[in-house]
Structure 1
């Protein structure tokens, strides 16, 4: 019989205490429910059951024998995570949508299992809510374990501080996908890989994708395909709904439409949750008196949507909307792929606003950032940073960064924050000892070199002053992301926001000037720029979609 070393402890004391939730043992009553949805399969001792980087055959419930779950580090080294025995089951949260496995599974002894496909798993968790809750909770906790161990995903090899390394890190972090970063200057395995592949200046970073191999300087799209977040989308499929934008509004539409039996595709440019997903803490959302991070809130919504069979493609920016025929068509940006839908929901939000600074693009990702996640926070340790902006997002980011940085300088053009920021955030900022507010001030120039940002030039009431900093965060608002709709006939107001409810004879208050095209969330003219309002619109639009589809 195949044997493996004892499993290592879970990475934190908190997770160790929850081992019984991560690897629960199901009783006979639970397994009877599972049998209704699964089929029996057998594997020989030592046989590979599933492999990191490849979609697994399904979720495996052990009836006899055992499965060794092995963590793969990208360099042909496996470490035992757990040994699953009778009544336990394999899989990760990606199983809900057939994404590649992040670990290897090997049969220990003669293995007999019940195998559930992704479709059957989703049917099980909906049909048996109590069992489904335990299954989903365990899969989420397994993902948390991978994240805390920085294992189970791509290995990024590149020099410390390299801008492209940071970009890929930010993409993976925003999508809560595990990864490892290795500096060839200090890691022998990374140095050996660099010596083998000899990357040129344009080849950094090297990325090891499970079951794919080494890629030189992959794009975010290539990385999305590598980890299974962006799969092939057929032009032959006609979706009931294509949702453009995976922020709170779009995810709400996906959850409600998916739960009511509509076929749904969500196209998201960067990461699920949109700008709200990057919020360090949302404190005014109903039902969370102590607040909740944007990542936690939207991460749950993402899993919830997948539970109802929604296809979420990331990164998948929409490039063009074709409205002159039915079904409607959405062209994928950067390709000629035309996706078809009976209805389209525009929840595409806004693009980060960029100030008019001559060399801004030179420092993006190398000192200039438009969000503040754990990746950026680690870069700010014991440093002074500058943050520009006076809205709630800026306030949340400042408080978050202040827990890591030596000092946070907030720069605003106005004389106070009172007209643009919630009072609770203002009070928190004023009470924070290492946050300094600079009013009537703006950034007029950036200085640095090929290694990144070094200084910013302030202008305060016409008096200029240089500030030494390597980190500049820009939270100066956003413009509606509607430029790609040109030529489709979707009406926008003078500021570029989408007008809805134009047909006064119709009850479809969220429908645009084009039948079957709806707009919700921040991109809609007159919307309330709050997470709760976006979620409400995302739910409300589904009833209007049903009315439209029924009339067609």
Structure 2
């Protein structure tokens, strides 16, 4: 398979030579660096590459070109290179046009000229764009292979684990790909061995658990120290932010995550209202950046381990892990977030992982090419999923219990959903039954007002409803409300919770009923349930940990 291409487009000979030289010096070993001197020449070159099935990772185009501007060229380039990243080189006077292009043509980034020195102004931008492209195109970067069945819940679990941990892999469907059958035969694998995970320079893994895969890939699954200053349970935005601030301020820090970093936010196709990212950013991209920061400051990340309880042992809190392991720390931050509530529909449980899924990563949209997709939910996560699925699916049906979207979804998403030609919203409706032989094949939808039922064919159902906190492991000592959300700070004085705070001092703002145990993000009672607020609470919790440690 040929190297992916980076194309530069600029009519100015000197500028074209400069951008090509800078890109070739940094990326020439892994990418073909091509150049065009006009928009028309660039489109012709892209057509030729498309006909030869040669991938294009990035197009960097100058805005001020005669006959065809950079924005006009990039808009037309979508036909030949729908997955390429778009970088516009522009002058300050064209900033408004560049910002408008973010919405109009999906521009990924605009860069003001000149970009000297490239180490500070060009390469960091291109590194991020190419990193995103590689994450979305693992076939060009990975030797890891997964052989399985499209409708297998175990195969889906392994693919999700790899994708959310940013591990590129190649997927082979045992029913469709001759290569999958060949690999299965070579490994002498039976149906019970699927999914088969083939690790470069390692033994084939047969129907492995996420922990088995993590160990085989060298991901950290065990803590290295006997005692930490702070243990953070949960690797979503709140937990990752807490880890960055704690480690950067000199606290020995460990994060325990049972699935993969990022939480529900990592599955978002686009977070468009996060400060500082006018183009928006994918949840996986935000997670990838945050994990890199965590690692940079020296915090440990323990993956694929489920926390089943904790104990207070004098000045130390012990976090108990599944499989008899434990981690001790002087302070504990609970940032386990929430999971989607179960949908009460007949026949649904038997089809989970076989066409029925709770949440959806952005990468799953391409599997729905040409199909009808049903999404249950009316919050931002459901809206982003609908827009992402609509890029691939024949039709996306958003099933909403309420009579409107505006009360639960941000207006910018509502506007896009209503204007999308292949998204249909069914108001005052709910899914009451799922049917299928081995995988989802049909749904029954019911009107909540009239009770009229509608039978529809469907292979894909994604559920984004409600929020159920992951707090059972905390036991009776940590006060929670009747839904399981953790009570903190001044709310502990509410008579409704009837819990005695054990110390003379008042609890810190995010402190639970157990001194030294804090809660941050969606898991906390009355939290805002937004990525930015979770990040803020994660940072704030570290400030409070410092105060707690100074008081003992």
Q: Same-fold call, TM > 0.5?
A: yes
1:455 corresponds to 2:442: yes
State the distance in 1 between where 2:144 and 2:467 align.
31
How far apart are 1:8 and its partner, in Å?
A: 5.5
* TM-fit CA distance, 1:336: 0.4
The 2-side partners of 1:162 and 1:331 are apart by 31
- 1:8–1:408 CA distance, 2 compared to 1 (3 A): closer
Q: Is 1:257 matched with 2:243?
A: no
Contact persistence 2:346–2:432 (CA under 8 A): no
Could you tell which deviates more after superposition, 185-194 or 269-278?
Answer: 185-194
Quick check: 1:522 aligned with 2:525?
Answer: no
How far residue 185 of structure 1 moved from its aligned partner, in angstroms, is: 5.5
Question: What is the deviation of 1:426?
Answer: 1.1
Counterparts of 2:24 and 2:408, CA distance in 1: 45
* Deviation of the 1:152 alpha carbon: 3.2
Report what 2:222 is aligned to: 232
Deviation at 1:496, TM superposition (A): 1.4
Question: What does 1:498-517 correspond to in 2, within 5 Å?
Answer: 498-501=486-489, 502=492, 505-506=505-506, 508-517=508-517
CA RMSD of aligned residues (A): 2.8
Residues 22, 141 of structure 1: 8 Å contact kept: no
Aligned to 2:67: none
Contact 2:223–2:254 at 8 Å: present in 1 too? no
1:157-236 to structure 2, matched below 5 A, reads 157-184=147-174, 190-234=180-224
Whether the aligned pair in 1 keeps the contact of 2:222 and 2:302 (CA below 8 Å) is: no
Task: Give the structure 2 partner of residue 323 of structure 1.
Answer: 312
Shift of residue 463, structure 1, vs aligned partner: 0.7
Give the one of 377, 392, 406 matched to 2:365: 377
User: Which of 416, 421, 424 lines up with 1:436 in the alignment?
Assistant: 424
Partner of 1:361: 349
Counterparts in 2 of 1:417 and 1:176: CA distance versus 1, 3 Å: same
> 1:147-184: CA deviations, max 9, x gaps?
63423352112244433222211211122211112245
Is 1:289 aligned with 2:278? Answer: yes
Question: How many Å separate the matches in 2 of 1:11 and 1:198?
Answer: 38
Query: In 2, distance between residues paired with 1:478 and 1:382?
Result: 31
Deviation at 1:142, TM superposition (A): 6.7
- Which residues of structure 1 form unaligned runs of 5+? 1-6, 25-129
CA distance in 2, matches of 1:465, 1:337: 50
In the alignment, is the contact (CA less than 8 A) between 2:266 and 2:361 conserved in 1? no
Instruction: Output the TM-score relative to the length of structure 1.
Output: 0.73
Equivalent pair of 2:151/2:353 in contact (CA under 8 Å): no
The answer to whether the 8 Å contact 1:241/1:265 transfers is: yes
**Map 1:42-441 → 2, pairs under 5 A:** 145=134, 148-150=137-139, 151-184=141-174, 190-234=180-224, 237-333=226-322, 335-441=323-429
Corresponding position of 1:550? 550
Distance apart, 1:231 and its partner CA = 3.1
